[in-house]
Chains A and B, each alone.
Chain A
Amino acid sequence: MTSKNYQDKAKTAATKKAAFGDDINLEEYLAATEELPYQDDPSQLPAPTREQMRQVGVIVDDASQRSGTIIQMDHSVIHSLARQEGVEVMATGQALARYDWLSDYFWQAVAVDSDKYTAHVELHQANGYFIRALPGAKTVYPIQACLYLARNKLAQNVHNIVIAEENSELHIITGCAASINEPGLHLGVSEFYVKKGAKITFTMIHSWTPDVSVRPRSGIVVEEDGLFLGNYVLMKPVKSLQMYPTARCVGENATVRFNSILVTPPGSAMDIGSRVLLDARGTRTEVISRAITTGGNIVARGYIEGSAPEVKGHLECRGLILQGEGTIHAIPELKGDLAGIDLSHEAAVGKIAEEEVEYLMARGLTRTEATAAIVRGFLRVDIEGLPPELSAELQKAVEASEQDIM
């Protein structure tokens, strides 16, 4: 399809409401904003900005532990650098100019007419990151990407393309943050292509501000023997965040794992799920989510569909109501249309068990310490296959938020 066709298709969806989440009036937001200057040396960014980036796992002071860096502020990619042979990191616009074939990857994993948000990204000024590992290349350190919202009232449009060519390995950490204390909107389309025998681990940490709404739209296509491992952490206030990334296992023995850690404070509404379609023989998935409310509302979704022989999927959705008026609505769904598929789920929503708190107290912890230990344990998801640096970043993000929770 040509880009004109996508524009036409997007127009048909320009007012199409999303299936889930509050409907956002896009006219209340600016569709475009001024270009920001390129930064050769991101360690020269203002200290508070760098600190915010650090909190979402993006280190700009010393990038020696990163295989590449890309930073988009509002609609401008203000820095991009690949530090490793075989790895490409650049603005999507720049990549489109360089590679004719890249347009073939646009809107393949996410439909352009999914809803008004995908349409908006197609129809307005947008940028985003392009990250690619060449065949057989493996990132030594994670690549870091930062999407930063600095302009009040802006609808930040982002279109990311990530490609792991055959037998390559890409580890990416994406940190999203905002500095505004007025309304803002982040619309992020991300399309991932995991080729035969390749592996992507993608860890995303969000830290928005209380008036920002967020609508990520992600699609993942995994080919034969490929692996996609997606981790998501959102522990800070946000006005409204809805996403339901969809991974399709199209090649035999492809594997997808999703882990989400969500903490919802008062005033925040989150509708977050992961969807996996097991379309080829022997494909597998595990979808795990941990949700805590300290007063906000969470809908935690999960969907696994098996439509090929010998597929296996498990969904685990656990919610903890810590205090206040918050609600957690867990909606795990399984669909199978073949004999011989193996899909299961477990879901549990509740308060911290008093019996467990008292058990720890009998060993000498105070009530607060015992509660904290249980919360920490609840959020401790052992993520198989995650490189140690990413595990450490994830752990840091979780621990940093523990104080807020308690």
Chain B
Amino acid sequence: MLEIKGLDVAVEKRQILHDVNLTIREGETHVLFGPNGAGKTTLLMAIMGFPKYVVTRGSVVFNGQDITGLPVDERARLGIGMSFQRPPVVRGVTTRDIMNVCLYGHDGETASQLAEKANLTDFLDRDINYGFSGGELKRSELMQLLAQRPNLALLDEPESGVDLVNIALIGQLINELLDKECPMRERKCMGLIITHSGHILDYVNARTGYVLYDGRIGCEGDPHEMLATIKEKGYQECIRCIAGISYDFEELSRQS
């Protein structure tokens, strides 16, 4: 279970996230919507524990353990994995090198088998992310996660810039990652997926969605309905929703 409680996050001394609360239970996949710059990536980076994303208030609790102060690699070893919106190039370090790191301690599929699955066989001996196309980057990120087998997968726009044919492949990889094929009760893997287009909703079993706007979460609900609202009325509808909530809070505090 992932519990995010009253989280404030600052980047370069500027507060980006305000009082974010969310809970993902075993086997659940949640979806995060929100306009550009809302703070979606910031939330994922903070959960993963990147030092630049400073938690100034609140906590991140993973499977009962408060991990708020833990370094990135320890979180990875606890079973949190992330696919990056814009992964960096690391010259001289090959995709295979990274796959071997991800596979460390896991039995099962080899780097070559996973590469075949992600249609990236020719990429194993290339420097990681060097000269990869947008779609190749996305597949490579998911391939690494499949090797890592995280208990919580944080997916930052896994389908952005992916063509219509490859989106099915991406969907398949994510399914496997979140073991969608398992019956709900046996499913353990958790997911938190950022999406703009919502295409990925066709492939995953997600019942909870959020809209992040201006660093705040509002409009928790069914992601399909949310997507329809956003498409029809834009994020504006949700601002009103957030405004409503904050109004309620003010009311509450005045009453107390």
Which of A129-137, A302-310, A366-374 faces chain B?
Answer: A366-374
B207 to chain A, nearest CB (A): 27
Chain B residues whose CB sits within 8 angstroms of the CB of A365 once the complex forms: 73, 101
Interface code A351-380, partner B: CB below 8 Å = 1, 0 otherwise? 001011011111111110010011011111
- B73 contacts A378, CB within 8 Å? no
Which DSSP category, helix, strand, loop or mixed, fits chain A's interface?
helix
A361 contact from B76, B87, B148, Cβ within 8 A? B76
Chain B positions 61-89 with a Cβ under 8 Å from a chain A Cβ: 71-73, 76-77, 81-82, 84, 87-89
Contact B92 A360 (CB under 8 A): no
CB-CB nearest in chain A for B98 = A363
Task: Name the B residues within 8 Å of A376 (CB-CB).
Answer: 92-93
Of the residues B72, B76, B92, contact of A377 by C-beta under 8 Å: B92
B51 in the interface, Cβ–Cβ < 8 Å? yes
A189 to B52, CA, bound (A): 52
Question: Does the CB pair A377–B88 fall under 8 Å?
Answer: no
Q: Which residues of A contact B91 (CB under 8 A)?
A: 377-378
Q: Which of A362, A364, A366, A374 contacts B48 (CB 8 A)?
A: A362
Chain B residues near A380: list those with CB within 8 A.
92
How many residues on chain A are close to B (CB under 8 Å)?
A: 21
With known contacts A363-B102, A364-B101, A365-B101, A358–B72 Cβ distance under 8 A:
yes
Return chain A residues, CB-CB under 8 Å to B84: 359
Beyond A360-B98, A362-B76, A365-B101, is A355–B88 a contact (Cβ under 8 Å)? yes
Given known contacts A360-B98, A363-B102, A364-B148, is B73 in contact with A373 (CB within 8 Å)?
no
* Whole-angstrom CA separation of A378 from B90 in the bound complex: 9
Contact assessment for A363 and B90 in the assembled complex, using a CB-CB cutoff below 8 Å: no
Nearest Cβ distance between residue B94 and chain A, in whole angstroms? 8
Q: What 0/1 readout, one digit per residue, does chain B (104-146) give for beta carbons within 8 Å of chain A? A: 1000000000000000000000010000000000000000100
Residues of A with C-beta under 8 A to B81: 362
B50: CB under 8 A from chain A? yes
Contacts A358-B50, A358-B51 given; does A363 touch B148 at CB 8 Å: yes
Closest to B102 in A: A363
Kindly list chain A residues whose C-beta atoms are within 8 Å of the C-beta of B51: 358
Q: Is the CB of A364 within 8 A of B77?
A: yes
Interface centre among B84, B92, B104 (most CB of A within 10 A): B92
Within the complex, the shortest CB–CB distance from A316 to chain B, in Å, comes to 11
Residue of B nearest to A375 (CB): B92
CB within 8 Å of B: which A242-287 residues: none
Does B179 interact with chain A (Cβ within 8 Å)?
no
Give A2 Cβ to nearest chain B Cβ, in Å. 51
> B97 on the interface (CB 8 Å rule)?
yes
Report chain A residues within 8 Å CB of B127: 377
CB-based contact B73/A374 at 8 Å: no
Chain B residues with CB under 8 Å of A366's CB are 73
| CA gap between A328 and B91 in the complex, in Å | 19
The answer to whether A361 touches B73 (Cβ under 8 A) is yes
Across-interface contacts of B90 in A (CB, < 8 A):
356, 359-360, 373-374, 377
Chain B contacts with A in 154-188, Cβ cutoff 8 A: none
Asked if residues A360 and B93 are in contact (CB atoms below 8 Å), the reply is: yes
Contact residues in A for B50 (Cβ distance below 8 Å): 358, 362
Give, as a whole number of angstroms, the nearest-CB distance from A117 to chain B: 35
Whether B87 and A359, one on each chain, are in contact in the complex, defined by CB atoms closer than 8 angstroms, is: yes
**A378 contacts which chain B residues (CB < 8 A)?**
91-92
Interface centre among B71, B72, B76, B88 (most CB of A within 10 A): B72
Please determine whether A359 and B102 come into contact, CB atoms closer than 8 angstroms.
no
* Contacts known (A363-B98, A364-B102); A379 close to B92, Cβ less than 8 A: yes
Cβ-closest chain A residue relative to B75: A362
Q: Is the CB of B98 within 8 A of A367?
A: no
Contacts of A364 in B (CB 8 A): 73, 76-77, 101-102, 104, 148
Partner of A367, one of B71, B88, B144: B71
- Give residues of chain A (79-111) contacting chain B, Cβ–Cβ below 8 Å: none
Report if A374-B92 is in contact (Cβ < 8 Å); known contacts: A358-B51, A362-B82.
yes
Give min CB distance, B55 to chain A, whole Å: 16
What separation, in Å, do the CA atoms of A254 and B148 have in the docked complex?
48
Question: Contacts of A367 on B, CB cut-off 8 Å?
Answer: 71, 73
Residues of B within 8 A of A374 (CB): 90, 92-93
- How far is it, in angstroms, between the C-alpha of A362 and the C-alpha of B155 when the chains are bound? 13
Starting from the known contacts A363-B76, A364-B101, 10 additional A-B residue pairs (CB-CB under 8 Å) come to A356-B88, A356-B89, A361-B72, A363-B102, A363-B148, A364-B76, A373-B90, A374-B92, A377-B91, A379-B92
Sorted nearest first, the 7 A-B pairs with minimum C-beta distance are A377-B92, A377-B93, A361-B73, A361-B72, A364-B76, A380-B92, A356-B90
Can you sample 14 A-B contacts with CB below 8 Å? Answer: A359-B88, A361-B73, A362-B48, A363-B102, A364-B73, A373-B90, A374-B90, A374-B92, A374-B93, A376-B93, A377-B90, A377-B97, A377-B127, A380-B92
